[in-house]
Amino acid sequence: MPPHQPGAQRRHLTGPGLARAALSRICRYGWASDWGDNLFIGTVLEFGVLNGSYLKGFGEHFRWKPVFWGFDSFVGLPAEAEGQPRPLAWSPGSLSSVGSGPAASEDKHAAVARAVERVHASITEGFPERKVHLVPGMYSESLTPQLAARILRTSGPASFIDIDSDLYISARQALDWVFEHGLARVGTVIRYDDWWTLACATRNPRNRNYHRDAASIESYGGEPLAHEEVAHRHGVTFACACGPCDAESGGPMSRYFATGHVGFNPFFRVAKLSAPPGNTGFAANGTMVGRFLDRMPVCRNYRSRGSFALSSHSNTAHV
C-alpha cells in the first residue's frame, strides 16, 4: 500500500520511518548482534517500487550504505491467484507507474523504460553514488535464476527485504525466488507492508462474508499466507523481530500487541534455514489477532473504505 493516512502516521510510524525506528527502538535486541554495524549494509530488496518513495525512504534511513534492488512491473498489479481474496482497489493494472498506458506493446516497452528512468532519477538525482538497480517486469518473468546469481555475485545476500507488492501471488513469487536462490541468510530481516490489510478489511461491513472469529492470520490470505507457505516449503524458521507478530505472554511486546501500539508492519528475522518444516515466527493466536483487528487504529482505516470491499472472483491464474 502507499503510505497510510496522515492522521494515522502522526501516531503510528509506517513504512521506512518505522523500519529504522522499529529496528533500533522496539525490536528485541538479542538478534541485532548477528549483524552489528552491518545491519544496514549489504543488499536491500524492495518488491513493489511504484514511484520509489519507500525505496528512497529506506535508502535515507539506512544512510545509502546498501545496494538497493527494486522489482516492479511498473505497469501495476497482476491478477491475484484464483480464489484468493483481494480488495477491489487492487485490480489488475492498478498502481501503475506509467498511468493508463498506451495499447501497443512497443509503446508499452518505451513507457516502462521511461518510468524506470524517471523513478531511478528521482531516487539518485544529485547523488550518483547511490547504488540503485530497478528491475522491470512481472515477477513471474523477471525473477530469474540468472538475476539471483547476479545479485549474489555483485552485492551479496539481502540484509533487508521489503514486501510491498500487495497481493498473495506476488509475495509468494518474490519469497519463493529469494529462498530458492539463497538471497536470504540467517539474520535477514523481512518487512511486510500489507500483512494486516486483508484481515483488517474483513472488519468492513461490506465484507461480512469474510469475517471469521478467532481465525489464524494466514487464513485471511495475502502476505501472511505467502509467508506461511514459504516457511514450510523452504524449511525457513522465522522469528518475530519487531512489530505486531509477537505475543510472548507477559512480555512487553504482548502488551503493545494487545493494545495496538506496536505499529502496523511486522518485521521477521530469518532465524534458521534448511530446517523443515519451518516456522512462521508469528506467535499470536486467533483471539489476539481479533483484538488487533478491533483496536489497531490503522486497521480501522480499512473498515469503511468502499475500495476495500473484498472479492475473490475474476482473478485469473495467469501472471
Which listed residue (8, 22, 67, 77) binds ligand SAM by CB under 6 A?
A: 77
CB of 305 to ligand SAM, least distance (A): 15
The verdict on 73 binding ligand SAM (CB under 6 A) reads yes
Which listed residue (72, 80, 223, 246) binds ligand SAM by CB under 6 A?
A: 72
Residue closer to ligand SAM, measured from CB, 138 or 148: 138
Dist CA 229 CA 244 (whole Å) = 19
Residues 31-60 that bind ligand SAM (CB under 6 A): 48-50, 53-54
Q: How many CB atoms lie within 10 A of CB 129?
A: 6
- Total number of residues binding ligand SAM (CB under 6 A)? 22
CB of 178 to ligand SAM, least distance (A): 14
Question: Phi and psi for 2 in degrees, rounded to 5?
Answer: -65, 165
Residues 82-101 that bind ligand SAM (CB under 6 A): 95
Binding window for ligand SAM (CB under 6 A); candidates: 32-40, 162-170, 266-274, 285-293: 162-170
Peptide bond between residue 277 and the one before it cis (omega within 30 degrees of 0): yes
Q: Tell me the HSE value of 115 on the side-chain side, using a 13 A CA sphere.
A: 26
Under 8 Å between Cβ of 202 and 293: yes
Among residues 131, 127, 100, the alpha carbon closest in space to that of 115 is found at 100
Binding window for ligand SAM (CB under 6 A); candidates: 59-67, 158-166, 243-251, 281-289: 158-166
Q: Decide: helix, strand or coil at residue 53.
A: helix
Instruction: State the Cα angle at 140 between 188 and 175, rounded to 5°.
Output: 20
The verdict on 123 binding ligand SAM (CB under 6 A) reads no
CB of 259 to ligand SAM, least distance (A): 27
Q: Decide: helix, strand or coil at residue 82.
A: coil
Residues 190-219 that bind ligand SAM (CB under 6 A): none
Among residues 52, 275, 241, the alpha carbon closest in space to that of 160 is found at 241
Residue closer to ligand SAM, measured from CB, 54 or 268: 54
- E strands, the chain, where? 43-47, 67-72, 86-87, 132-136, 158-163, 184-192, 237-242, 267-272, 310-311
Cell of 159: 540484509
Residues 125-144 that bind ligand SAM (CB under 6 A): 138-139
The verdict on 164 binding ligand SAM (CB under 6 A) reads yes
CB of 55 to ligand SAM, least distance (A): 6
Dist CA 316 CA 52 (whole Å) = 28
Which residues of the chain form contacts with ligand SAM (CB under 6 A)?
1-2, 48-50, 53-54, 72-73, 76-78, 95, 138-139, 164-167, 170, 173, 319
